[in-house]
Structure 1
Amino acid sequence: MSLGLVVVPEGRAAVIERLGKFRVVLGPGRHFVAPFADAVRARVDLGDQILSAPPRAVETGDGREVLIGFEVVFAVTDPRLATYEISNPAIAIDQLTTTALRQEASLTTAERAVIAPGDLHRTVWTVLHDTTGRWGIVTRELKLEVRPPAAPGTPSTAQEWY
């Protein structure tokens, strides 16, 4: 911030604090703020963001493992909540999705997880949608890749996204 001028690019927002307390969210454009009293707390990207996680081994309820990867498309809808409710949205969404997948997979069999991943998808989607809404974030899409682990020495090329 120079001489009280804050420039916010298109597709972004700036969360402004005055003397350490939330003051306002600024949209795109040039804005004058009080020098030395106001500070930019965060610059938030309002566009769609994609979080991808490679397949990870997850144990199912029958003691077997499946590989589950995911891709989440999300966007910040409320910069104030996204700044103050959660410190790093991408890490939080990754951990939330991984935890929900592991919990749900532990309640099903490996065969069911691979054949009918729609059940996993519905449950994880509900958890994501409900939780991220409180953070000022909307989850637009969730894709899951569920497959059995490849036999040793056998390359696995089958990938299905749901």
Structure 2
Amino acid sequence: MSLGFVVVPEGRAAVIERGGRFRTVLGPGRHLVLPFADRVRARVDLGEQILSAPPQPVEAGDGREVLIGYEVVFAVADPRLATYEIADPASAIDRLTRTALRQEAGLTTAERAVTAPGDLHRTVWTVLHDTTARWGIAAKELELTVSPPAAPGTPSTAQEWY
């Protein structure tokens, strides 16, 4: 059996399987592999990625709406976990952030959400950081934009969450 090469560019990793089971993670460079035994399961970008959502209407606990937008900076910390634990990390982080924001906004008043967004940020950050760590993802930053809704009659550019 002849040997083959796998070339992994800088800033990326390759997850290798042998016989359908995880074998190893290859870092940047040229690597020898067994052509018919080893296969590249995934090529993973290790660079920071930014996920953002424009301000969306969210109902607070007092029944009033606030507009909440966010930006999450994340990177793959463990290519093996990021490959096998979660199918689409960006989509999962987006859904997780939206769900946590809705849940936490529903526990506070609209006025408190706008005047003291630090409480909302702290709770959502904890959920985001803890959950993504299990997926092999490092959540690096979370930025929230919380504001009251536009006055009636003012054109709104808000989009639906889904």
Return the TM-score normalized by structure 2: 0.91
Q: 1:153 to 1:4 in 2, by over 3 A?
A: farther
In 1: Cα distance, 2:101 partner to 2:20 partner: 38
Tell me the secondary structure at the aligned position of residue 125 of structure 2. helix
Counterpart in the other structure of 2:53: 53
The one-letter code sitting in structure 2 at the alignment partner of 1:71 is E
The one-letter code sitting in structure 2 at the alignment partner of 1:56 is Q
The one-letter code sitting in structure 1 at the alignment partner of 2:18 is R
Counterpart in the other structure of 1:114: 114
Deviation, 1:4, is: 2.2
Counterpart in the other structure of 1:159: none
Counterpart in the other structure of 1:154: 154
In 1: Cα distance, 2:6 partner to 2:92 partner: 29
In 1: Cα distance, 2:81 partner to 2:128 partner: 16
Deviation, 1:155, is: 5.8
TM alignment of 1:22-101, pairs within 5 A? 22-101=22-101
The one-letter code sitting in structure 1 at the alignment partner of 2:43 is R
Counterpart in the other structure of 1:13: 13
Counterpart in the other structure of 2:159: none
Deviation, 1:153, is: 3.6
Deviation, 1:55, is: 1.2
Counterpart in the other structure of 2:4: 4
Where has structure 1 moved over 4 Å in runs of 4 or more? none
Residue deviations 1:93-133 (CA, integer Å, cap 9, x gap): 10111000000000001111011110100000000111111
The one-letter code sitting in structure 1 at the alignment partner of 2:111 is E
Deviation, 1:137, is: 1.0
Counterpart check, 1:130 vs 2:130: yes
The one-letter code sitting in structure 1 at the alignment partner of 2:17 is E
Percent sequence identity over matched residues?
A: 82
In 2: Cα distance, 1:83 partner to 1:28 partner: 17
Deviation, 1:61, is: 0.4
Counterpart in the other structure of 2:160: none
In 1: Cα distance, 2:87 partner to 2:41 partner: 12
In 1: Cα distance, 2:125 partner to 2:60 partner: 19
Deviation, 1:56, is: 1.3
Return the TM-score normalized by structure 1: 0.91
- Structure 1 residue runs without a partner (length 5+): 157-162
User: Over aligned residues, Cα RMSD in angstroms?
Assistant: 1.3
